[in-house]
Amino acid sequence: MATEVKVPTLGESVTEATVGQWLKKPGEAVKADEPIASLETDKVAIEVPSPVSGVLGELLVKEGDTVNVGAVIATIEDGGAPAAKAASAAPAPAKAEAAPAPAATPAPAAPAPAAAPAAESESASGPITLSPAVRRLVLEHGLDPSRITGTGKDGRLTKDDVLAAIAAGTAVAAAPAGASPAASAAPASGPSREQERVKMTRLRQTVARRLKEAQNNAAILTTFNDVDMTAVIEARAKYKDLFEKKHGIRLGFMGFFVKAACMALKDIPGVNAQIEGDEIVYNNFCDISVAVSAPNGLMVPVIRNAESMSIAEIEKTIADFGKRAKEGSLSMADMAGGTFTISNGGVFGSLLSTPIINPPQSGVLGLHRIEERPVVRNGQIVARPMMYLALSYDHRLIDGREAVTFLVAMKNAIEDPTRLLIDL
């Protein structure tokens, strides 16, 4: 008896998805609720769980196919059915094993050595399932994914794992298929001019479309300021152990910036507003979108009512988003809405950038790396840990004066964190 696997409900107004990856192969045993496939929608990757325990049967769609909600994509056979099917599907090997006994000749033994390497290769590569983003990164750098430790769900390889291995110099180049060690070590005869075409994921297509729409529809302008991080760094160093002991989470920098942004948005409500037709919608709450890294790229989940949260609650929410992003379990509900975005390019080493707003929002704050630079304090040139802040905004709604005032409010709050406690 076969059980159908159907595309689950994908969220409000989402009717179709793309099959990103099959996580199981036909004939493999699966447990109830174990993920067997990954679907990509316009916003997130969603795993399709097996409805029952059994063995994965026929795959009715291929990776890259577009499927609608409710469509049948595979079948799950009960535990006994696949064994019989497997036996009937491969009668030739059974006869080959039986043939040598009466003939008592060594001839049938010849295929065995040839079959062994193939089985070895299949078993070695079988457990490694790569998302499209990871597969593309591995191919671009010619790496052996089996030599990189995965930290994702069920030990899967994430984009961060590959990037970390490349940065640490521990990534091992993959040998060409069928090549001997001597051939692998031989230098290339000349520069390669090979090309590879990889279809854009549905998520990347949506990101590209929305960013282009933002450039076409909004009058985007960016203004900058810098902030002295000395006070925040000292506060973090002084209280990080007590903070972690009490709240069970590390004290980072994002909690300070989210809290400071909420205060600045309260003072400059236009940055927290949006244009709808010929009306301006002012939001009396702060739903802060924060960019987090995921295997399929950057995701932007939303911290709801961040203005009413403590720094500890903000840090816990961001940590939870980061964990779920790596596991691929962020939902579309997590990313819906948002009134203002904070993007931290500093974690990747960015010194300066001009971020693009996320429509229908009207502002995005870009954070950058912290580095010591010479500044003048009390007439003396001293080295201080400085960070550039960049605010990109829709000039149709926000004037330059408001944008600069917003950044100055951010600067004052970060350079004197006491302001965050007394709402000043």
Q: Which domains does the chain have, with CATH numbers?
A: 128-174 (4.10.320.10), 220-422 (3.30.559.10)
What is the distance between the alpha carbons of residues 199 and 301, in angstroms, rounded to a whole number?
Answer: 25
The residues, any chain, with a CB within 8 Å of residue 125's CB and separated by 6 or more, are 146
Q: Which residues of the chain have pLDDT under 70?
A: 11-14, 42-44, 79-129, 131-133, 136, 153-154, 171-189, 295-297, 422, 424
Alpha helices in 126-171 (DSSP H): 132-141, 159-168
Active site residue 368: no
- Would you call 208 exposed, middle or buried from its count of C-beta atoms within 10 A (0-12, 13-18, 19+)? exposed
Distances (CA, A) of 378 to 231, 248, 375, 382: 17, 40, 10, 10
- Candidates 33, 399, 416, 423; catalytic one: 399
pLDDT of residue 178: 52
pLDDT of residue 135: 73
pLDDT of residue 392: 96
pLDDT of residue 368: 95
pLDDT of residue 92: 45
pLDDT of residue 111: 45
- Would you call 372 exposed, middle or buried from its count of C-beta atoms within 10 A (0-12, 13-18, 19+)? exposed
- Candidates 141, 226, 247, 395; catalytic one: 395
Active site residue 399: yes
User: What letter does residue 147 receive in the DSSP assignment?
Assistant: G
pLDDT of residue 304: 95
- Would you call 177 exposed, middle or buried from its count of C-beta atoms within 10 A (0-12, 13-18, 19+)? exposed
pLDDT of residue 142: 76
Alpha helices in 4-128 (DSSP H): 81-89, 91-98, 100-103, 111-125
Q: Which residues pair with 298 in a beta bridge?
A: 293
What is the distance between the alpha carbons of residues 201 and 207, in angstroms, rounded to a whole number?
Answer: 10
Residue 57, classed as helix, strand or coil, is strand
Query: How many helices and strands (H and E) does the chain possess?
Result: 14, 19
